[in-house]
Structure 1
Amino acid sequence: MTRSILILGGTADARILAGKLAEGSGYRLLLSMAGRTRDPVQQPVPMRTGGFGGSSGLAAFITENQFDLLVDATHPYAARISANAVQAAELTNVPLVSLERPAWKKQLGDDWQNVADVESAMKALGANSTNAFLALGRQELLPFEAAPQHHYLIRSVDPVEPKLAVPNARYITARGPFTLADEINLMSENRIAVIVSKNSGGTAAYAKIEAARQLGIKVLMIERPDLTRAATVPSIDTALATIRHQLSLLDERGE
């Protein structure tokens, strides 16, 4: 019996996991993306983009397409879709595997200030003008219009449109991962004094944190939201083992 898996993605981990699941497994796989990036990286399995219409819409999609298992491999800050995944799994009685990479831990030499959200990060920049690197998604930049005194460096996969209504902002369009040397050069050339970052975890985006440590740059670290997630697995290999175990249980029960 061919088993079918719906993967909620949008991260490098989801792409890698999908590729590993596709290797000689015989599974029917579908990777779902939110569609926020205009030109996403090519995926190793069939892909759909867009939302589902909440937990009930996701549950209906699972039922209509006869998926046997749901994988949540979305970003650690994708609170809404993760909550919808939990509810949809309960509604459909389909096993859910949630992959959540561990958060970065503060190391010796790091200068971090934890903040609750983007608005808190904007306020923490202070009243005096500073050079700030906004290492955030382009959908999360608007609050910084309330602090036009700063000089902003903004890097995004897609162009920021419209640009922020601030007098001093430099925009860079680039796709990571970036090397430590790249990040040191970028921050040195732009005289960055503070970085605003999410605690994404993993290795793909960590070079900027290492660069900040070496250069003595402060990081305003936006804390992860409290996600409504089932028991999580911390790595791709653990996710693969858990997925195969869950599917074997279905085979044993004849479902």
Structure 2
Amino acid sequence: MRVLVLGGTTEARRLAGLIAGTVEVITSLAGRTTDPLRPAGEVRIGGFGGVAGLSGYLRDERIDAVVDATHPFAATISGNAAAACAASGVPLLIVNRPGWTAGPGDEWHRVASLPEAAGMLPSLGRRVFLTTGRQGLAHFAGLDGCWFLARSVEPPSGDVPRHLEVLLDRGPFTVAGERELITRHRVDVLVTKDSGGADAKLVAARELGVPVLMVSRPPLPDAITVSTADAAASWLRTIRR
């Protein structure tokens, strides 16, 4: 059985580790980082060329199943995968990690997009901890009245805010570390995406009384969906029978 995992996440790496040796697993990475964490099994780096290109790949490589374990905000590849699998008759599963839910003591402001976040931001604070990824920095480039601490794995390119400090780092992060970072930089608002997973920065923001501007997820394609890599491995076992 040949399984294509659309990866780049913790869940994708765990799934590859769970199924490598029992099936032939190929993990596809977008190639946006120069030194990605590599999963078990074969690794493919780069795009497919849209729905037609992915459909051709599924056919040429004789793929028996696709698991979309990409980032919750990777809407383009998720949509392409759904369309290509439907056209090719290849089973598709989406691994969608649970999102975050505000609790007591949280001050969250939900928005639908990064442009909407940029529009609301000046009303919430001026010293911004921005954890939305380097590709979204251009949306905040015109906010000269704000100072930004942007954390990403790779240096940003293109338009960036005028007052910007870049922190190159890769998690996991601790609550104590996030609390120290927010305090040291006098951050008064956190901007992030509802990515789910570890939430040390959200706990630190709650403890320090820092408001959070939360970008909601795009809708998922219509497909079977699970929330963990272990559940995805179980699904693959059912279609092997």
State TM-score, norm by structure 1.
0.91
- Decide which of 196, 199, 212 is 2:194's aligned counterpart: 199
> How many angstroms does 1:93 deviate by?
0.8
Aligned to 1:34: 30
Matched, 1:72 2:68: yes
- Decide which of 171, 174, 178 is 1:183's aligned counterpart: 178
Aligned to 1:251: none
> How many angstroms does 1:67 deviate by?
0.9
- Percentage identity across paired residues of the two chains: 41
Aligned to 1:81: 77
Aligned to 1:174: 169
- Decide which of 140, 147, 153 is 1:144's aligned counterpart: 140
SS in 2 for 1:187: helix
Aligned to 2:113: 117
Structure 2 CA distance, aligned partners of 1:46 and 1:140? 30
Query: For structure 1, which runs of at least 5 residues remain unmatched after alignment?
Result: 249-255
Name the aligned partner's letter for residue 10 of structure 2.
A
Deviations 1:119-174 (A, max 9, x none): 111111126861001101101100111111101001110112357250x2111111
Name the aligned partner's letter for residue 201 of structure 1.
G
SS in 2 for 1:32: strand
Name the aligned partner's letter for residue 223 of structure 2.
A
Aligned to 2:18: 20
What is the alpha-carbon root mean square deviation over aligned residues?
1.4
Structure 2 CA distance, aligned partners of 1:42 and 1:75? 16
> How many angstroms does 1:238 deviate by?
1.1
- Decide which of 7, 10, 14 is 2:8's aligned counterpart: 10
SS in 2 for 1:178: coil
Relative distance call for 1:46 and 1:155 in structure 2 (3 A) is same
Name the aligned partner's letter for residue 200 of structure 1.
S
- Contact 2:175–2:203 (8 Å) recurs in 1: yes
SS in 2 for 1:146: coil
Deviations 1:9-28 (A, max 9, x none): 11111111111111x41x11
Deviations 1:53-93 (A, max 9, x none): 11121111011001111110011111111111111111111
Structure 1 CA distance, aligned partners of 2:125 and 2:214? 19
- Contact 2:125–2:189 (8 Å) recurs in 1: no
- Decide which of 86, 90, 100 is 1:90's aligned counterpart: 86
- Contact 1:122–1:143 (8 Å) recurs in 2: yes
Matched, 1:126 2:122: yes
Structure 1 CA distance, aligned partners of 2:160 and 2:48? 30
Structure 2 CA distance, aligned partners of 1:133 and 1:38? 24
SS in 1 for 2:141: helix
- Contact 1:155–1:173 (8 Å) recurs in 2: yes
Aligned to 1:211: 204
Aligned to 1:244: 237
State TM-score, norm by structure 2.
0.96
Name the aligned partner's letter for residue 40 of structure 1.
P
